[in-house]
């Protein structure tokens, strides 16, 4: 049961990191002359970093199978985001780019997990 607790804590910390960085980016967009054309790329970067951090946190505390637990955090991270988007948008259409994002977040979480398990020793 402890492993599940750390996976969900990693997922929670990933969302906290995402929200914090998005607030900072939003403030930068509001109070500087940054253009809105970079929003898509920055959002992908932020979610990738957050997924990797969530996998890192979970695997660092579990201390085994970093790839598996990191991948699980990354996949759960994106599934929750897509469920939120599905519930918020009026006309949700599944696109192939969403599959790429799920793969990217899973890989980022896996890499974070591998790094995290090596930091735990």
* Tens digit of each residue's pLDDT, the chain (121 residues): 788 899 999 999 999 999 999 999 999 989 988 788 888 889 889 999 999 999 999 999 988 888 999 999 999 998 898 888 888 888 777 778 888 888 888 899 999 999 998 886 6
Question: Taking a C-beta distance cutoff of 8 angstroms, is the pair 71, 110 a contact?
Answer: yes
Given CA atoms 121, 45, 20, 67 in this order, what sign does their dihedral have?
Answer: negative
Confidence (pLDDT) at 93 = 76
Confidence (pLDDT) at 64 = 86
Task: Give the separation between CA 79 and CA 57, rounded to whole angstroms.
Answer: 19
Question: Cα 71 vs. chain centroid, distance in angstroms?
Answer: 11
Task: Give the separation between CA 77 and CA 85, rounded to whole angstroms.
Answer: 13
pTM of the model: 0.87
CB-count burial class (<10 Å; 0-12, 13-18, 19+) for 105: buried
Domain boundaries, given as residue ranges, for the chain? 2-119
Confidence (pLDDT) at 114 = 93
């Amino acid at each position: 049961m402890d492993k599940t607790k750390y996976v969900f804590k990693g997922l929670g910390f990933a969302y906290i990191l995402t929200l914090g960085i998005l607030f900072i980016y939003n403030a930068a967009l509001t109070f500087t002359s940054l253009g809105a054309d970079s929003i898509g790329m920055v959002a992908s970067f932020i979610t990738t970093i957050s997924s990797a951090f969530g996998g890192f946190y979970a695997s660092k505390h579990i201390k085994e199978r970093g790839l598996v637990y990191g991948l699980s955090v990354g996949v759960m991270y994106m599934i929750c985001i897509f469920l939120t988007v599905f519930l918020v948008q009026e006309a949700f259409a599944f696109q192939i780019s969403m599959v790429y994002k799920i793969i990217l977040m899973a890989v980022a979480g896996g890499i974070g997990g591998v790094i995290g398990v090596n930091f735990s020793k």
